[in-house]
């Protein structure tokens, strides 16, 4: 999909949602417009002493809430249209999750896989300097995060550079999320998007009246799953789904795709990919003809976790799943989606299902600006309360719990426990709201309901501010 296609597709989905609302045309136009977009060219000195000019972007789609929030991607395909479209998705995603952010997105056009660590560091740090000049980064302005081609290391460089530019700022680490744990990061952030896919899918498949027309029983147990894109999101989604009782029968990455109708060992598959560079050739599986063949595997649920536009009018007719759960941003084009809906497939939109990452990023940002871990003020107290309760039960029963069970019952909550429970609660609440809107508006698909709900929430912010009558 051409990058400008993403912008058009997001606008089209937003228009579908807006058609269900009674807000003024002017207000809806303001919500859908990209509020600010910064394009910059900056030089970086290479190891041989020469200079190379890089092209970078940062879009703040909406400023109905401050700060804005969104990832930074390093990719040779990055351009203005792609960044603007992804920033818009972030606005609607944050609104659905009831997060105190508006949407943003940024990126630099280059291939980090072909760059040395030294070059990646220089590009990252110079990009931060350029953003800081124009107010496109800051704990209360615009909070960055990982995205395609970036990870905890880049986020650490971003935090360190911003700290050097703003000495004495107590909230400096809140300028970026997805940082390493040792640099005020948050446990659970790395796997948050994949965990959110699992939680959201479990919620969506829980209603018998929604899944019965598909010939499915409620719940995840026994469901066959195909995962397109066995990267960070795809692996963690597959792992959590398998642990919940689903059967991961196929997976793909940039190097190929594998299939086993009896199920793949997800952890072993990841180890194979780490050792061989791809999932292709995984023992006990059939290597499919091409990586995109995973989209056509016979399964209950297809989870596309790779790039945008993976399912279009060209291949939608060959998708054999009953449910498509979007783990990536915009893996379906509108025409591809239309074909799937006409065929009766159930689509869980990425604007909801992909929101686990930004949700846990919110928790990390909270931790950074409040300067305290979530469990520090409560862990010891809760452990003491549990001990008193366990000892009271043992006295009444005249029997002692088994040592392993007793240790588990007495354990105070760790920070990761707060993170995972809060993520599950946020995803669950959001899905129930989307489903309620789906039924209330009487629209045929969840995506239209989700966009209508998100637009309505943003509109209420503008109306509360008194900007629009």
Helix (H/G/I), strand (E/B), else coil: 125: helix
Residue 278 to residues 136, 254, 289, 364: CA-CA distances in angstroms? 37, 7, 14, 32
User: Among the options 93, 105, 179, 273, which is catalytic?
Assistant: 105
What tens digit of pLDDT does each residue of 74-101 get?
A: 999 999 999 999 999 999 999 999 999 9
Shortest CA distance to 15 belongs to which of 33, 41, 40? 33
Predicted local confidence at residue 379, as pLDDT = 66
Residue 248 to residues 231, 254, 347: CA-CA distances in angstroms? 15, 18, 19
Question: What are the two backbone dihedrals, phi and then psi, of residue 457, each rounded to the nearest 5 degrees?
Answer: -65, -40
Q: Two tokens at 36?
A: 């600010």
CA distance 369 to 364: 9
What tens digit of pLDDT does each residue of 221-273 get?
A: 999 999 999 999 999 999 999 999 999 999 999 899 999 999 999 999 999 99
Identify the DSSP state of 400. P
On whether the CB atoms of residues 19 and 442 are closer than 8 A, the answer is no
What tens digit of pLDDT does each residue of 302-349 get?
A: 999 987 788 999 999 999 999 999 999 889 999 999 999 999 999 999
CA distance 420 to 243: 15
| Beta-sheet strand order (sheet of 36-45) | 36-45, 51-60, 102-108, 68-74, 142-146
Q: Two tokens at 348?
A: 């869980």
Helix (H/G/I), strand (E/B), else coil: 249: strand
Average pLDDT (52-63) is 94
**Any idea which residue has 């379906």 for tokens?**
332
On whether the CB atoms of residues 137 and 85 are closer than 8 A, the answer is no
Question: What are the two backbone dihedrals, phi and then psi, of residue 192, each rounded to the nearest 5 degrees?
Answer: -60, -45
CA distance 58 to 55: 11
The helix or strand, by DSSP H or E, that contains position 260, with its residue range, turns out to be: none
CA distance 406 to 387: 9
Average pLDDT (46-68) is 93
Helix (H/G/I), strand (E/B), else coil: 58: strand
What tens digit of pLDDT does each residue of 402-449 get?
A: 877 777 777 766 788 888 999 999 999 999 999 999 999 999 999 999
Q: Specify which residues 250 forms β-bridges with.
A: 226, 259
Q: Two tokens at 282?
A: 């995984």
Residues 6+ apart with CB under 8 A from 166: 138, 172
On whether the CB atoms of residues 86 and 3 are closer than 8 A, the answer is no
- Share of residues in the chain with pLDDT > 70 (%): 96
Predicted local confidence at residue 375, as pLDDT = 63
Q: What is the dihedral of CA 293, 294, 296, 302, to 10 degrees?
A: -160
CA distance 368 to 370: 6
Note if 105 is an active site residue.
Answer: yes
């Amino acid at each position: 999909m051409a990058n400008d296609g993403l912008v058009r597709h997001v606008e089209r989905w937003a228009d579908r949602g807006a058609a269900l609302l009674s807000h003024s045309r002017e207000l809806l136009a303001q919500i859908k417009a990209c509020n600010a977009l910064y394009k910059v060219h900056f030089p970086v000195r290479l190891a041989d002493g020469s200079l190379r000019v890089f092209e970078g972007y940062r879009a703040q789609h909406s400023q109905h809430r401050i700060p804005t929030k969104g990832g930074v991607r390093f990719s040779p395909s990055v351009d203005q249209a792609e960044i603007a479209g992804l920033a818009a998705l972030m606005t609607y995603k944050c609104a659905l999750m009831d997060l105190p952010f508006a949407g943003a997105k940024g990126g630099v056009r280059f291939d980090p896989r072909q760059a040395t660590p030294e070059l990646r560091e220089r590009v990252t740090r110079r990009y931060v300097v350029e953003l800081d000049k124009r107010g496109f980064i800051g704990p209360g302005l615009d909070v960055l995060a990982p995205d395609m081609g970036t990870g905890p290391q880049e986020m650490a460089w971003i935090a360190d550079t911003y700290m050097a530019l703003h000495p004495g700022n107590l909230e400096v680490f809140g300028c970026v999320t997805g940082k390493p744990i040792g640099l005020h990061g948050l446990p659970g952030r790395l796997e948050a998007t994949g965990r959110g896919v699992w939680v959201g899918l479990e919620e969506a498949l829980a209603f018998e009246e929604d899944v019965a027309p598909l010939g499915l029983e409620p719940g995840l147990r026994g469901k066959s799953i195909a995962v397109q894109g066995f990267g960070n999101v795809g692996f963690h989604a597959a792992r959590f789904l398998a642990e919940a009782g689903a059967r991961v029968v196929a997976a793909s990455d940039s190097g190929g795709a594998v299939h086993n109708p009896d199920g793949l060992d997800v952890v072993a598959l990841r180890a194979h990919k780490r050792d061989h560079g791809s999932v292709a050739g995984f023992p006990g599986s059939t290597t499919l003809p091409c990586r995109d063949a995973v989209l056509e595997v016979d399964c209950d649920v297809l989870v596309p976790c790779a790039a945008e536009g993976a399912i279009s009018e060209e291949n939608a007719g060959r998708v054999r799943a009953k449910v498509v759960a979007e783990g990536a941003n915009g893996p379906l084009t509108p025409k591809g989606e239309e074909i799937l809906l006409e065929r009766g497939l159930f689509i869980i939109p990425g604007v909801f299902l992909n929101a686990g990452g930004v949700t846990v990023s919110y928790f990390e940002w909270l931790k950074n600006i409040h300067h305290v871990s979530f469990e520090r003020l409560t862990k010891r107290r809760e452990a003491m309360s549990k001990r008193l309760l366990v000892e009271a039960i043992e006295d009444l029963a005249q029997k002692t719990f088994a040592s392993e069970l007793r240790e588990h019952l007495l354990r105070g909550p760790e920070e990761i426990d707060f993170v995972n429970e809060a993520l599950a609660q946020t995803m669950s609440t959001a899905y129930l709201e989307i489903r309620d809107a789906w039924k209330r508006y009487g629209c045929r698909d969840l995506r239209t309901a989700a966009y209508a709900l998100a637009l309505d929430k943003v509109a209420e912010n503008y109306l509360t501010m008194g900007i629009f009558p």
